[in-house]
Each structure stands twice: as C-alpha cells, then as structure tokens.
Amino acid sequence: MKIVLTGPPGAGKGTQAKRLVPRFGVEHLSTGDLLRAEIKQGTELGKQAEGIMAAGDLVPDELIIEMIQPRIRAAAEGPGYLLDGYPRTQAQAEALLGMAAPADVTPDVAIVLFVPAPVLTERLLNRAEAEKRPDDTPEAIENRLRFYTESTRPVHEMFRALGVLQVINAQGTEDEVADAILERIPVGA
C-alpha cells in the first residue's frame, strides 16, 4: 500500500498517520519529522532548515527531494509507504511521480484532509501552548497556510489526473476522520 496524506498545517496529518501506519504496516515518512530530527542532531541539513521552518517557509525543494526520495524508493520496494507532508510543491510531486522502475512508487491513494483556515489557526495556536513548537506563532502559521494555498494545493490536481485523489472532511473528531479515511482507501491496493 502506498498512501500520500496531505492537507494544510493543523489538518491532522500526523495524528491520522499514527493510526494508518500500524494498520497497513507501511513506513511512515514525514518530511516535517525528518527535518526536526536533523535539527536536533545538529546536521548541516538541520542547520539550513531550522530558520526556514521557524518562519513557516518551505525548505528548498532540492534539499527535501534529496532527503526523502531514497527513503521512498526503499519503502516502495518493501512494505509500502505513508507520505506525510510530501510532496508539497510541483517540483516535489514531479520527483515522486517521475521516479522510474524498478520500484513502482506511484501512490495508490492521495488523501487530502480538508479543514477551513480559521479552525486550523485555532488548533495550531492551542498546540502552541501545549508543545511550544517554534513554527506555531501567529506569523509562521499565516505563512504556512499561504504556502499551502499557493504551492501545495495545485499539486492535488496531479493526483486527481492520476485518479487517486480523495478529499476528506477532517473537521470531526479524530475517530470520525479516521473512519472517513478508511472508507476511501481502495481495498486490495
């Protein structure tokens, strides 16, 4: 099974990924988590990404693609994948969909978690109090939402053209959203 999980910041990608990964036995590949791990370890990539992420901007495509593509290939050749927060730009989507044989890396399903912007802002500001993530400030949240609208939403059309796009209303409880996702995952993919 190869799943792309996408949606705006605060839509619940990480929350739902944690449920889907054990269920399907796939590898969880979150570009946000990988970048935060690089920052924690003080790597060169982490140093480059830290300020960009804190401002809510997108990390440059070439750094992201180099970090994630080998992992996607390995997962596609093995247990399958759940991509969380990737691809976020047209260049990233082209890198994913343009990957050649031997492994077929094309997703079986691309799930968009839809939540209106005011609800997202509220969720992220609540998390800011609890977790103190550096990019959960009002300015960074605004930036993240803008990048989502300008750069990530157009990518959905590429998945629509492939016939794998599924848009889910993600305003319900975590359980309701999880059930809605499972209903849209193709059986036997």
Instruction: Give residues in contact with ligand B4P (CB under 6 A).
Output: 9-15, 31-32, 35, 52-53, 56-59, 64, 85-86, 88, 92, 123, 127, 135, 144, 173-174, 177
Q: Are 98 and 42 in contact (CB under 8 A)?
A: no
| 19 included as an active-site residue | no
Nearer to ligand B4P, 65 or 165 (CB): 65
| 153 included as an active-site residue | no
Q: How buried is residue 98: exposed, middle or buried, by Cβ count under 10 Å (0-12/13-18/19+)?
A: exposed
Nearer to ligand B4P, 149 or 189 (CB): 149
Q: Are 103 and 73 in contact (CB under 8 A)?
A: yes
Stretch (H or E) spanning 4: strand 2-6
In whole angstroms, how close is the CB of 86 to ligand B4P at the nearest point?
A: 4
3-state secondary structure of 47: helix
In whole angstroms, how close is the CB of 31 to ligand B4P at the nearest point?
A: 3
3-state secondary structure of 80: coil
3-state secondary structure of 111: strand
In whole angstroms, how close is the CB of 113 to ligand B4P at the nearest point?
A: 7
In whole angstroms, how close is the CB of 154 to ligand B4P at the nearest point?
A: 14
Nearer to ligand B4P, 101 or 130 (CB): 130
Nearer to ligand B4P, 24 or 148 (CB): 148
DSSP string, 119-149: HHHHHHHHHHHHH--TT-SHHHHHHHHHHII
| 144 included as an active-site residue | yes
Residues assigned a catalytic role? 13, 88, 127, 133, 144
